[in-house]
Copies of this chain bind each other. A is one copy, B any other.
Amino acid sequence: MLNAATTVFLRHGFSAATTDMIQREAGVSKATVYACFASKEALFAAVIEQECARLMRTIRTIDAQSRGLRVTLTDIGHDYLNVILSPTGLALYRVIVAEAPRFPEQARLFYLAGPKVVSDLLARHIGYFVETDQLQLKGIGVGDATKVLVNLLRHDAQLELLTHPDSRPSAAQIDHWVALAVNTFLFAFAPEPPAGWAGAVAN
């Protein structure tokens, strides 16, 4: 039943979703829903909590064991984009952003489960690469450098998909976006930056 609610809330958002839809999707009756959850709000909160927990588990599996600098960043970036650009990832983002004023606690939960976790993961790796002189941050802290990279990754990609809800990114596009982010990051912070473009070709 939580699954049914998840489907409905992620598809329609909080306000536009109705308990009827959830009830029908779950194949139970309306009263059954209210036997388990006190209100629509409570059900929504439970859904978001579950999705955030799932998101966190997913992102935690993205641990690349430290291989080379470029490979590590590319792998993590690739996995991260695949998560946040998936239909579920986009839908969760949509509903969180939309309902943040009304459900600030859930919004913060999302932040901690998603962006924060991937930031911490990347920060560990970047810290290591800095210590071993494979990166040179030129006065920028590890935290800020991490934000730079995450931001490069998140990319217009997300915005484009959010505002063009019918389109889907191809694997090649994702490759290109990741390569663009990693190349830029290395141009900026690798002591011996690559001479030119390396990675997937144009989108």
* Residue of B whose beta carbon sits closest to that of A166: B104
Instruction: Indicate whether A67 reaches chain B with its CB closer than 8 angstroms.
Output: no
Cβ of A187 under 8 Å from chain B: yes
Query: Interface residues of A toward B: which range?
Result: 35 or more
Complex CA–CA separation, A194 to B139 (angstroms) = 11
A26-83 residues with Cβ-Cβ distance < 8 A to B are none
CB pair A110 B163 closer than 8 Å: yes
A15 partner, pick from B15, B101, B139, B140, beta carbons under 8 A: B15
The yes or no answer to A19 lying at the interface (CB within 8 A) is no
Residue of B nearest to A104 (CB): B165
The 8 Å CB contact of A154, one of B16, B151, B160, B188, is B151
Residues of B within 8 A of A151 (CB): 151-152, 154-156
